[in-house]
Amino acid sequence: MADFNPAIDYYAILGVAPNAGERAIKAAYRQLAARYHPDRHRGHDLEDLATEKLAQLNEAFRVLSDPALRSAYDLARANTGHGHGDAPRPYAHPTGIPTQAPSALLRQILYVILGFVSLWLSARTGPRQALIVLLIFAAGWFAPRILNRLRRK
């Protein structure tokens, strides 16, 4: 059983990048620990919050400063979909190759097709008629989607 929670972003707690080295992690920890140490906030309303924050910093530093724990943590985050922030990556390819959501890919294909259609129409009929055809097409494409959103509200 691992001694960490892969759902917690220890890198964000320390404010370092996932590829940060030992020095950067240690420097970030020292700076934040000095800022949030409960002794600096003794008798203040924020003393309890500072104690909680220091506990989070200590946990993050403990995991990220130990090479074995850090590699296990990184692997666990990659396998649970928490590698990029806390949102799961629904379209992540198992090889790590970045992919796009199908809707974004469809949108790009549509833009390329519309570009070729507008070039073809402007060559045949002139730019004004091509623009009119494209506006009619766009209105027909987006009107049902806009109406559906308005009906949901």
pLDDT of residue 105: 65
Domains (ranges, CATH) in the chain?
10-80 (1.10.287.110), 102-152 (no CATH)
Listed range (47-51, 67-71, 75-79, 138-142) with the worst mean pLDDT: 138-142
Are 64 and 25 in contact, with CB atoms under 8 Å apart? Answer: yes
More confident residue, 39 or 9: 9
Residue with tokens 């003794």: 42
**Sign of the torsion angle spanned by Cα atoms 87, 51, 37, 46:** positive
Could you tell me how far CA 142 lies from the centroid of its own chain? 27
Rounded CA separation 9/60 (Å): 8
Report the pLDDT averaged over residues 89-102.
Answer: 52
In this prediction the pTM is: 0.52
More confident residue, 36 or 65: 65
Nearest to 4 by CA among 13, 84, 87: 13
pLDDT grade for 86, boundaries at 50, 70 and 90: very low
What are the Cα distances from residue 114, in Å, to 106, 107, 111, 119, 134? 12, 10, 5, 9, 8
Tokens describing residue 89: 């990556």
pLDDT of residue 88: 46
User: Residue 25, Cβ neighbours under 10 Å: how many?
Assistant: 20
pLDDT grade for 107, boundaries at 50, 70 and 90: low
Backbone phi, psi, residue 45, to 5°? -60, -25
